[in-house]
Amino acid sequence: MIKILFTLLFSPLLLMAQDPKPTYKDDTLYTTCGYKIYRGQTLQFGKGTGPKGKFRYISIKNGIPAASIINHSIIVKELKNVNLSPLDFGHVDIIGTIIFKDSSKGSIELHLIFDMAIENAPDLPTELIVPAEFRNSSRVILHKELNTLFKLFVSGVINKVEYEMKKQQLLGK
């Protein structure tokens, strides 16, 4: 009886600990995969993954052409409008300084859907270049699988029993 009570009391805590979520604390954004974005940090951008090389998860808000950030660095001055969505669409506005190849600088403001920009699908490069340890980690893959499962449950494709059974299978991996 005590084992059952213990399991019922602490299993929600264990499930929450295994389901990574983005957080924002002390002016630092921690993405789902653990990558940190903070003031003073230098961000590197790759190519867009959309049609004709356009960015899917990064948009520039102050008129600088999107092609200007490809293979360039941006020094973060400020993070604004941080939105931590549990469904992989967390986003942030970044105000920063872009450094061009000729060492000239300019002001830039961009909107970043951070977890999607970091994702490194096998057939697509990442738009925000991060160290390999932050791309497609098992934590991120599990998080995506749990979100997909939850969306199926909410939309009525699967019932609660199927949802709970599949969730336990994923968490048991």
Give the pair of three-digit tokens for residue 140: 């991120």
Q: What is the CATH number of domain 24-131?
A: 2.30.30
User: In this predicted structure, what is the pLDDT of residue 121?
Assistant: 61
Q: What value does the CA radius of gyration of the chain take, rounded to a whole number of Å?
A: 19
Report, as an integer, the average pLDDT of 147-164: 88
Query: Which ranges in the chain belong to alpha helices (H)?
Result: 2-18, 114-118, 138-154, 160-172
The C-alpha atoms of residue 120 and residue 135 are separated, in whole angstroms, by 6
Report, as an integer, the average pLDDT of 82-108: 87
- Residue that is written with structure tokens 């997909």 in the block: 148
Is residue 45 very low, low, confident or very high in pLDDT (cuts 50, 70, 90)?
very high
Is residue 49 very low, low, confident or very high in pLDDT (cuts 50, 70, 90)?
confident
The C-alpha atoms of residue 91 and residue 128 are separated, in whole angstroms, by 13
- Where are the chain's structural domains? 24-131
The C-alpha atoms of residue 138 and residue 36 are separated, in whole angstroms, by 18
Using DSSP's 3-state secondary structure scheme, residue 144 falls into: helix
Rounded to 10 degrees, the C-alpha dihedral 118/122/123/125 comes to 30
The C-alpha atoms of residue 48 and residue 46 are separated, in whole angstroms, by 7
User: In this predicted structure, what is the pLDDT of residue 103?
Assistant: 86
Residue closest to 117 by CA, chosen among 90, 144, 151, 86: 90
Amino acid at the residue 113: I
Rounded to 10 degrees, the C-alpha dihedral 91/81/27/21 comes to -30
